[in-house]
Amino acid sequence: MRCLVRSSVNIDETFQGETISSSKMWSRPGGKGANVAAALGLAGVDVRMLGAVGHDATWPLDELSKRHVDVASVHISKDVPTGRAFIQIAAEDGENSIVLLKGANFAPNASLDDPAAWLNEDVSHLVLQNEIPLATTEAFVRCARTRPHVTTVFNPSPMLTTPELQAFPWDGIDVLIVNEGEAADMHEALTGQAAGAHPAQALAQVPAFASIAWIIVTRGRHGSSAGVQIQSERVWVDIPAASTTHVVNTTGAGDTFTGYLVSGLMRMTELSRENVQAILTRASTAAAMAVEVEGAMESIPADEAVTRRLSL
């Protein structure tokens, strides 16, 4: 089994300070796609990153390789720079503002944008997000839909616009992962009504999502909820948030959760409530460990560390 991540690779340029003067600066590997790929690699499954960087900064690929990610298929552009997120963090209250440079993530590339060339027999799982052109994401969804051996996982972050949500080929998605706020926004965009007190269950009632086998909603300190189709019935599994020793930075928690959840799907031999609960618990524990460490990709724990935490 192999997971293909068709998504983004960025550099997070973080500045601490006020409007003009900055007291600290960090350059770290990032991009939601790269972070999820790193989590999959650290979780011990076979993962290939499919994306693009610029010739100006290829070192994020070295960081992915250290985390056991196959980066041989990542395109290196001579003309377009590596994507970047410029993050300014106020020293006093930690509030941040972000400016994005899409860079190579959005540069047209006939090879990368042809899903038929990449969704071969050895790909069992496909992970998509929304940090590359939406047309490319949709093309991969439609192609994967014609390949029954591929499980398609979609984390629509940053969130799609209302027209994009309405036009998206949801019948090609097997696993949907969103946070509670995103679930509420999606429900309102597609139904015109508020989701109410239980966004996860409300989202599952939207006709466009009826065919999605796994609907997973993360709820921060309240844990996560998953509605999974087991023997023609959607079964709900709720788990509490895993405990943390301390909170340093929450940036990488969501991508860590996604990576570890997909690794659990790849290893699952039987679909049952117990196995769903175990997969969610492991993903939640890994995400909790990630918030204890500075950075995004750097904060993702290795599989052995997650196993040790679960044994405590």
Instruction: Please report the pLDDT score of residue 295 as a whole number.
Output: 84
Question: What pLDDT, in 10s, does the model give residues 35-52?
Answer: 999 999 999 999 999 999
Q: What domains appear along the chain, each with residue ranges and CATH number?
A: 2-9+30-82+103-311 (3.40.1190.20)
High-pLDDT (> 90) share of the chain, %: 82
Task: Please tell me the predicted confidence (pLDDT) of residue 37.
Answer: 98
pLDDT along the chain (312 residues), means of 10: 97 72 78 97 98 97 98 97 84 65 94 96 97 97 97 96 97 97 95 91 95 95 95 95 87 94 97 98 97 91 98 91
Query: Whole-prediction pTM value?
Result: 0.94
Tell me the C-alpha distance between 282 and 257, whole Å: 9
pLDDT at 132: 97
Per-residue model confidence (pLDDT) at position 220:
87
The pLDDT of residue 85 is: 84
CB atoms < 10 A from the CB of 24, how many?
10
Give the integer Cα–Cα distance in Å for 280 and 191: 28
Please report where in the chains the tokens 């040790």 appear, as a residue.
308
